[in-house]
Amino acid sequence: MKDEFATLSRRDIVRLSALAGGISVAAPGWAQFGGIGKVLDAGKDVVKAETISDAELKTYFDEVAAETDRQNPIAGPKDPYGKRLATLAKGLNSHDGLTLDIKAYLVKDVNAFAMGNGTIRVFAGLMDQFTDDEIRYVIGHEIGHVKAGHSKKRMQTALRASALQKGAGATGGTVGRLASSQLGDLFNKVVVAQHSQKNENEADDYAMNFMKTKGYEPVAAATALEKLAAMEGDKKNPLQFLSTHPSPGARAKRMRAQLV
């Protein structure tokens, strides 16, 4: 099963050019975007982030999410990964005022991400390693990043440093279709960049509360992070999740302290 998967991953996924900018992500098996820095010229068209409305931000997130989905194989409703995720995430169509779109990518990497529009993607490689409750912790953690505004802030920062917002403003707030390279640039800045330890703790605290209030097993937050800590340094497991969500060992301890 795992070998089949690796083959599918290599065959079906378009691997675009390597990531730019200081992020150590070795040989990603999933499609990421190239073109960073080529289209958007940071500093050239600086605008205030405050001028970007939530509706505009959502449109940008929608476009980036649609492009990412086009470039990665999504587990359909009949796929075992799709079925499992739909079952374990039952009742999570929305949470805490956020409409969620939770799907699995048939990619072997141990990874997951969220976008500010409620898009959450969990990778099959992560699902292979984690129990249902551990996956729920990951979902809660990703929702935490969105609810704490980390995702939105990144998008605002990326747009502020780009010419995109200027164009949107000039047409009365209507956001036009972005080129794939522009979406790629936003993706790299909004999704692939590493979160700070402070942001990680905030998302973890949110996830712990999420586990408790939803009636999931809270200890799964700690065991998921302990698994990630154990996988750290294991060359067989491509751990993109750790490159964007650092320090699993210390975070596991924080989660354990919140169990009592």
Question: Which residues belong to the active site?
Answer: 142
Considering beta carbons, is residue 183 or 224 the nearer one to Zn ion? Answer: 224
- CA nearest 137: which of 251, 192, 218, 245? 218
Which residues within the stretch 230-259 sit at the binding site for Zn ion (CB under 5 A)?
Answer: 245
Q: Does 195 bind Zn ion (CB under 5 A)?
A: yes
Closer residue to Zn ion (CB): 162 or 223: 223
Query: Could you say whether residue 95 binds Zn ion (CB under 5 A)?
Result: no
What are the tokens at 98? 């956020």
Q: What are phi and psi of 95, to 5 degrees?
A: -155, 130
Residue 132 and residue 166: Cα distance in Å, rounded?
A: 44
Tell me the site size for Zn ion, rule CB under 5 A. 4
Q: What is the largest CA-CA distance in the chain?
A: 54
Binding range to Zn ion, per CB under 5 A, among 21-29, 93-101, 166-174, 195-203: 195-203
As measured in angstroms, the least distance from the Cβ of 150 to Zn ion is 8
For residue 75, give Cα distances in angstroms to 151, 171, 221: 24, 37, 24
For residue 17, the minimal CB distance to Zn ion (Å) is 25
**Given the complex with Zn ion, which of 180 and 194 has the nearer CB atom?**
194
Residue listed under structure tokens 């799907």: 103
Q: Which is nearer to Zn ion, 135 or 203 (CB)?
A: 203
Phi, psi of 180 (to 5 degrees): -55, -40
Q: How many whole angstroms from its chain centre is CA 83?
A: 20
* Chosen residue from 52, 193, 203, 255 binding Zn ion by CB under 5 A: 203
Closer to Zn ion by Cβ: residue 227 or 245: 245
Task: Indicate the residue whose CB is closest to Zn ion.
Answer: 245
Residues 27-66 that bind Zn ion (CB under 5 A): none
Cβ atoms of 27 and 243 within 8 Å: the answer is no
Instruction: Find the part of the chain contacting Zn ion (CB under 5 A) among 1-9, 85-93, 159-167, 198-206.
Output: 198-206
List the end-to-end C-alpha distance of the chain, in Å, as a whole number: 39
What the block records as the tokens of 217 is: 């097993």
Stretch touching Zn ion by CB under 5 A, among 5-13, 152-160, 167-175, 192-200: 192-200
User: Position 95: which residue type?
Assistant: H
Question: Residue 27: which region, alpha, beta or left (left: phi > 0; alpha: psi -120 to 50)?
Answer: left
Please, what is the Cα angle at 100 between 231 and 57, to 5 degrees? Answer: 100
Q: Contact residues for Zn ion (CB under 5 A)?
A: 195, 200, 203, 245
